[in-house]
Every structure is written in structure tokens, then in C-alpha cells.
């Protein structure tokens, strides 16, 4: 196993860094500060960082096929044009509860945005509102799943036929059969992380079909084999890493976002909230799917 190298990239300090995505066409990394309403765009070759503003909180973002991005905002989706710095509101999920908002999301191989909700400060005896939504190019929304307390880490197997979704509050990653249309099927427990004393946060899948997930409360990243066993763990230099994606020219750099101060977690480490690059892993990721444009 190769020796890994972990380095902080730049000087950004996010309250709640999330949703990193690599743009292989422009060789740039995008990620968000969910609570500050910021989108960062990094050129790793030069260190240049460009920032864009959007209404906070931003749950997640995916890149569009024809440029720009689609954002999951508090209760709905929006298109963002980076060149014009213009936000165009899209469909709403139809909720107005201030404690429920859209959270993590990814594009599927068919060009649709799949994003779930989180229900903050929920009483133990109260069922969570919201669920998992799928947005297509025509603006149509489907509700795919309910009863999600804190949805995180949605991602897909290399063939796109298995969908993974964590409920961080319950410390479970679910696996589902995923088709081009229709509902999710064959829901099963992929992994229970209660023994790790942490729920899982953001996640990605590498080219070998292993799932990389952040153990947000214990400062680690875990690589899970397709059968759900832990193949490897990485200790991060900060207490609360949040999400991961593979990037770089060879898709062999694991970029990691982190927290300095979210609603529930605080880290006073000087590098908390920073962006990190993990190199020397000996594995590669997969190109990010993009949202299909009309």
C-alpha cells in the first residue's frame, strides 16, 4: 500500500464545506460553503480561487452539461450561470418547514439531479419530513424516498445500477437497485457505522467500485468494499471532514472539504474548514455525471 500525503490547499476557511465536484473539462474543482452561501472554484495548477454567491444554505451542487451548475437550495432547485453570475430559480419541493432543507446530492448517469433533505432539531418521536428527490431536465420532480433524517453521501456504483445513500443520524448507508426510470428497489443495509461512533457524511465511488465515505464525527475517511467491509481508513488532520471527490488530471487526488463551525459541530483547529488533497492512494475515481440540459 502506497504512502499517502495529505496537504491543505489554499487558505479558504468554510463554515460548512461540502459538495466537491471535479470539472474534468476545465480542470477545476468546485465546492461550496453551505452556510455562507458561497461556491468556490479552484484551479489547482495556479492556486487561483474564484467565488460566487448564492442564497444560503446551499445543500449541494452538480455541474451542467452545457456549463454552469444546478444548486439544491433550502426548499428548491436553481440554475447558476458562472459567467453571468446569475441565479435562476427552479422547482420547489413544496415544503416550508424552516427545520427541513435540501442537503447532499449528485447527478446520475442519465443526467438527473438526485438530492435528499435533512430535518434539523427533530424530536425523537417525530417522523422526519422531506425525502429524496430527483430532478430532470424538464424541471419535473420525483419523490424517491421518505423517512430520511439527515440524507448524505448519495452516489452510484460504476455501472450506475446501485445507488448508495447515508442517513447520518441513523448511522446507516443504504444500497438500492437503481434504474433509468421508476422507483428505487431492493433497499438493504450496505453498512452500519455505529461501531465507528459516527454517521457517514459525503461520499464518492472509485473506479474499482469501492465507496469512500467521510466519518464526520471522528475525523476519518473510510473506504468500503462492495460487500460493505472496511478496506481502509485515513485519519484527517481536522476533526470534522465532510465530503470527498476524486479530481486531478488522472482522477487520483481525493479532495476533502471540512467544517469550522456548523450548526452542530465546531472545530477550533487552525486548518478547520479548509480544503485538503489526499495523494498517493493508488486508486482513481470516476468522472462526475453532469446534469443534462434541454
Q: What is the pLDDT of residues 45-96, one digit of tens each?
A: 999 999 999 999 999 999 999 999 999 999 999 999 999 999 999 999 999 8
Task: Answer whether residue 150 shows pLDDT above 60.
Answer: yes
Q: Of these residues, 201, 206, 252, 267, which one is catalytic?
A: 201
Q: What is the mean pLDDT of the chain?
A: 96
201 counts as catalytic: yes
Residue 1 has what pLDDT?
52
Residue 213 has what pLDDT?
98
Residue 125 has what pLDDT?
80
Residue 13 has what pLDDT?
98
Q: What is the DSSP letter of 266?
A: B
Domain ranges of the chain: 5-279
Residue 293 has what pLDDT?
82
- pTM value? 0.97
DSSP string, 109-176: TTS-EEEEEEETT--TTSPPP--EEEE-TT--EEEEE---SBEEEEEE-TTS-EEEEEETTTTEEEEE
CB 9 within 8 A of CB 275: yes
Q: What is the pLDDT of residues 154-205, one digit of tens each?
A: 999 999 999 999 999 999 999 999 998 889 999 999 999 999 999 999 999 9
pLDDT confidence band for 292 (50 / 70 / 90): very high
Residue 137 has what pLDDT?
95
Task: Answer whether residue 148 shows pLDDT above 80.
Answer: yes
Q: How far is CA 81 from CA 60, 88, 158, 168, 194, in A?
A: 16, 8, 29, 31, 41
- Does 32 or 122 have the greater pLDDT score? 32
CB 246 within 8 A of CB 227: no
Residue 2 has what pLDDT?
65
CATH topology assigned to domain 5-279: Neuraminidase (2.120.10)
Q: What is the pLDDT of residues 218-265, one digit of tens each?
A: 999 999 999 999 999 999 999 999 999 999 999 999 999 999 999 899
Q: What is the pLDDT of residues 91-135, one digit of tens each?
A: 999 998 899 999 999 999 999 999 999 998 888 788 898 899 999
How far, in Å, CA of 17 to CA of 219, rounded? 14
H/E element, 204 = strand 200-205
Three cell numbers, residue 161: 445500477
Amino acid at each position: 500500500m502506497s504512502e499517502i500525503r495529505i496537504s491543505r490547499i489554499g487558505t479558504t476557511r468554510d463554515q460548512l464545506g461540502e459538495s466537491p465536484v471535479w470539472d474534468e473539462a476545465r480542470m477545476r474543482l468546485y465546492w461550496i460553503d453551505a452556510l455562507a452561501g458561497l461556491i468556490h472554484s479552484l484551479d489547482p495548477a495556479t492556486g487561483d480561487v474564484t467565488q460566487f454567491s448564492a442564497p444560503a444554505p446551499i445543500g449541494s451542487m452538480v455541474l451542467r452539461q452545457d456549463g454552469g451548475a444546478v444548486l439544491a437550495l433550502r426548499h428548491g432547485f436553481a440554475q447558476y450561470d458562472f459567467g453571468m453570475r446569475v441565479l435562476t430559480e427552479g422547482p420547489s419541493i413544496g415544503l416550508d418547514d424552516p427545520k427541513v432543507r435540501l442537503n447532499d446530492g449528485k447527478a446520475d448517469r442519465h443526467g438527473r439531479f438526485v438530492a435528499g433533505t435533512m430535518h434539523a432539531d427533530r424530536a425523537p418521536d417525530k417522523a422526519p419530513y422531506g425525502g429524496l428527490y430527483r430532478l430532470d431536465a424538464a424541471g419535473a420532480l420525483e419523490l424517491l424516498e421518505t423517512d430520511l433524517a439527515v440524507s448524505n453521501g448519495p452516489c452510484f456504483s460504476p455501472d450506475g445500477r446501485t445507488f448508495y445513500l447515508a442517513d447520518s443520524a441513523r448511522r446507516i448507508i443504504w444500497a438500492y437497485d437503481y434504474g433509468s426510470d421508476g422507483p428505487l428497489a431492493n433497499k438493504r443495509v450496505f453498512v452500519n457505522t455505529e461501531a465507528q461512533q459516527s454517521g457517514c457524511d459525503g461520499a464518492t465511488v472509485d473506479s474499482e467500485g469501492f465507496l469512500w465515505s467521510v466519518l464526520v464525527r471522528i475525523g476519518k475517511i473510510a473506504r468500503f468494499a462492495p460487500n460493505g467491509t472496511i478496506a481502509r481508513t485515513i485519519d484527517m488532520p481536522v476533526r470534522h471532514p465532510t465530503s470527498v471527490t476524486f479530481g486531478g488530471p488522472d482522477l487520483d487526488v481525493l479532495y476533502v472539504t471540512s467544517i469550522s463551525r456548523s450548526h452542530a459541530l465546531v472545530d477550533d483547529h487552525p486548518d478547520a474548514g479548509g480544503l485538503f488533497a489526499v495523494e498517493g492512494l493508488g486508486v482513481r475515481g470516476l468522472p462526475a455525471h453532469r446534469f443534462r440540459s434541454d
